[in-house]
Structure 1
Amino acid sequence: MIVTLQDIAIILGVRIDGYRNEINILRQSQVLWTPYTADLLGILSPLCTARSALYLAQVLLIAWVVVEWHMSERVMRQFGYQQHFLLEVPDPNFRRINGQGQASTDWFAEHSLYRRLWRGCSDFVQQPQLVSEDDADALRMYMNWYKSWARLSLIFAEVEPPTSYFSLAPVHNVF
């Protein structure tokens, strides 16, 4: 069973219109990026922490017709590791797939290569380096590198909230 944000809103009787827009209008100074604390990790469901090494795998994620890379280098600090500098593209020939205009495509067959790669995902786990107490220099170097190529402005929120939402499906069990 999938529980969506809309389901929770109905159960609790709260409005959710605009929450996504509120996130979009946050400024950089309003966001504090910190790793998950040991206390928080301790109360997570075992489902969230099972096979947690795979969170650090650089793999293709498949969600029905959409296929894209999970770039574990971008989330290392969230798990208490030193942030990597992403220096190379995992597969320069890879093209992001979104399925537009391909309604008759057999996606199960189309994604057979990606499913095979996913089955071997434990072979692609990045070797993390734990953050030390004196990580300020490493973080400063990473942020300088990141700011050299990233767009640092957040997008403006839409004037009208979206009229529909797409729920997530547990399609990962198919593969």
Structure 2
Amino acid sequence: MCSIDEDIYLMRCPLICFYAVEYHLPHRVARQFGLRQEFPVEPFSTSIELHKFDRQRQKKVTDFETHHRDYIDEWNQQGDLNYENDQAHTNYNFRRYLIWYSGVTRCKLKGQWTAADYAEQESSDDEDTAFDIAARHGSQIEAAPILDRVVTISLIKL
């Protein structure tokens, strides 16, 4: 059952659901299909105009077939849209991809919600911990204390 219409899984195409249109881009997630993740990743415009469409602000649009005609026509070109990759995933190639990926992305941690070390925080059985108090007041709880501890331990081991 899982392999029925398998050729559709690798189509680079718009996925259309009434007012919403998003692109399926298998070249960005090739590993999920057991294929070699290529890098650098081929650029592909997902259309700024497409993301500007807001159903709340454009309530007058009710004929989505006409509104999304270009995307429907693109979907109908199924045979021309298949992502071609016949190289199987290997751990070696994936490690090389991760090295490339970490060099072209940035990670910014948000500030900690507490200065206490994560390992020294009270048990969550106690309902008056800094975490619980912040959560009750509607604060978004960050993982920074955990990540800070991981980084600190990693640096000590180096």
Matched residue SS, 1:95: helix
Match of 1:115 among 61, 72, 86: 72
| RMSD of aligned residue pairs (Cα, Å) | 2.9
Matched residue SS, 1:68: strand
Q: Separation in 1 of the partners of 2:103 and 2:87?
A: 25
**Contact 1:72–1:126 under 8 Å retained in 2:** yes
Q: Separation in 1 of the partners of 2:49 and 2:11?
A: 17
Question: In the alignment, which residue of structure 2 is the partner of 1:84?
Answer: 38
Which residue identity is paired with 1:139? F
Residue 99 in 1 paired to residue 51 in 2? no
Give the fraction of aligned pairs with identical amino acids, expressed as a percent.
27
Displacement of 1:149 in angstroms is 3.8
Q: Separation in 2 of the partners of 1:153 and 1:73?
A: 26
Q: Separation in 1 of the partners of 2:54 and 2:100?
A: 30
Displacement of 1:108 in angstroms is 1.6
Displacement of 1:57 in angstroms is 1.1
Q: C-alpha deviations, 1:52-87, integer Å up to 9, x for none? A: 111111111111111121111122112211112222
Displacement of 1:150 in angstroms is 4.3
The unaligned stretches of length 5 or more in structure 1 are 1-45, 161-175
Q: Separation in 1 of the partners of 2:4 and 2:49?
A: 29
Q: Separation in 1 of the partners of 2:69 and 2:97?
A: 36
**Contact 1:54–1:122 under 8 Å retained in 2:** no
Report the TM-score, using the length of structure 2 for normalisation.
0.57
Displacement of 1:99 in angstroms is 2.7
**Contact 1:67–1:98 under 8 Å retained in 2:** no
Which residue identity is paired with 1:142? Y
Question: In the alignment, which residue of structure 1 is the partner of 2:116?
Answer: none
**Contact 2:13–2:25 under 8 Å retained in 1:** yes
Q: C-alpha deviations, 1:71-126, integer Å up to 9, x for none? A: 11122112211112222124667632443411111212101111111011221111
Displacement of 1:130 in angstroms is 2.8
**Contact 2:22–2:46 under 8 Å retained in 1:** no
**Contact 1:81–1:131 under 8 Å retained in 2:** yes
The unaligned stretches of length 5 or more in structure 2 are 110-134, 137-158
Question: In the alignment, which residue of structure 2 is the partner of 1:6?
Answer: none
Name the larger-Rg structure: 2
| Relative contact order, higher structure (CA 8 A, sep 6+) | 1
- The 5 A counterparts of 1:8-157 are 46=1, 48-85=2-39, 86-90=41-45, 95-96=50-51, 97-105=53-61, 106-131=63-88, 135-150=90-105
Structure 1 92/149 Cα, relative in aligned 2: closer, same or farther at 3 Å? farther
